[in-house]
Amino acid sequence: MEERQATITPLPRAERAAATLLLDNAVVEKDGDRLLGPISATVASAGVTVVLGANGAGKSQFLRLIHGLSAPSSGAVRWGERPPSDARNEQGYVFQVAPLMRRSVWANVEFPLIARKWPRAMRAARTAEALERARLAEKAALPAAALSGGERQRMALARAWATGPKVMMLDEPCASLDPASVAEFERFLTAIRDEGAKLFLATHDLGQAQRLAEDVLFFAEGRLAEQAPASRFFAAPASDAARRYLAGEL
């Protein structure tokens, strides 16, 4: 399998350096099994980076790694100068199966603000804004478990967005949603993007990938098989694995 790995080029520090993602031969292993890597890449600090690949290719592992939920067994991951665990409080993560906290929709969205120690008055205003944007304001008082699948994912997005992250990771957030729910989710997501947040979106939905991606990280068998601008990737994938994936063979 052909493998293209971007080399690390130091970026000028003034240029939003805090949000530029750098990976240097990062490897994730668990119990002696290699789950991911080695990966070396530099990812720009703006725009939507779509993370593509078949099931088990390493998409979730990659998102977890760059958010600091798993530590590299070897190699390094940095956001500018900072390790992921330091950068995390400027980030939001939407899990593939977002945990519904056993409380109201409002309390779910307010929770990260409590965790980050926002003052009470600011919490209320921000929670209301997040729910408004997710079009869930009318359901604020319901138990989160009463929401539909699409509403749950929008709530999870609102919850991850509430703290005002500069970077968001989304792990197949629309995997089990119907088209109308996907459209609604993407409306909220593109608004977040337009406000300048950097998005990492893992998806299986090639339509969604083409609608949103500015660049693509393509994973195969735990490795970064290709990193390319979206237009180039979808028109002429350079790696064999990506060609087969786009042709529906992987």
User: Could you say whether residue 102 binds another protein (CB under 8 A)?
Assistant: yes
Secondary structure of 128-166 in HEC code, one letter for each residue: HHHHHHCCCHHHCCCEHHHCCHHHHHHHHHHHHHCCCCC
Residue 244: partners with Cβ closer than 8 Å, 6 or more residues away: 250
Please state, in angstroms and rounded to a whole number, the distance separating the CA atoms of residues 191 and 79.
24
Strands 215-220 and 48-53: parallel
User: Could you say whether residue 88 binds another protein (CB under 8 A)?
Assistant: yes
Q: How many residues bind another protein (CB under 8 A)?
A: 27
Choose between 48 and 144: whose C-beta lies nearer to another protein: 144
Show contacts with another protein in window 162-181 (CB under 8 A): 163
User: Could you say whether residue 161 binds another protein (CB under 8 A)?
Assistant: no
Smallest separation, CB 116 to another protein (Å): 6
Residue 64: partners with Cβ closer than 8 Å, 6 or more residues away: 70
Instruction: By CB under 8 A, name the one of 1, 71, 76, 114 that touches another protein.
Output: 114
Instruction: By CB under 8 A, name the one of 59, 67, 126, 198 that touches another protein.
Output: 67
Report residue 233: phi and psi, to 5°: -60, -45
Task: Tell me which stretch binds another protein (CB under 8 A): 4-12, 91-99, 125-133, 231-239.
Answer: 91-99
Cα distances from 176 to residues 51, 104, 242, in angstroms, run 17, 22, 24
User: Could you say whether residue 18 binds another protein (CB under 8 A)?
Assistant: no
Task: Tell me which stretch binds another protein (CB under 8 A): 11-19, 90-98, 217-225, 239-247.
Answer: 90-98
Please state, in angstroms and rounded to a whole number, the distance separating the CA atoms of residues 208 and 4.
24
User: Could you say whether residue 116 binds another protein (CB under 8 A)?
Assistant: yes
Please state, in angstroms and rounded to a whole number, the distance separating the CA atoms of residues 221 and 241.
10
Contact between 41 and 5 (Cβ < 8 Å): yes
- Letters for 125-144 (x = contact with another protein by CB under 8 A, - = none) are ------------------xx
User: Could you say whether residue 103 binds another protein (CB under 8 A)?
Assistant: yes
User: Could you say whether residue 112 binds another protein (CB under 8 A)?
Assistant: yes
**Binding interface with another protein (CB under 8 A):** 64, 67-69, 88-89, 91-93, 95, 98-103, 111-112, 114-116, 143-146, 160, 163
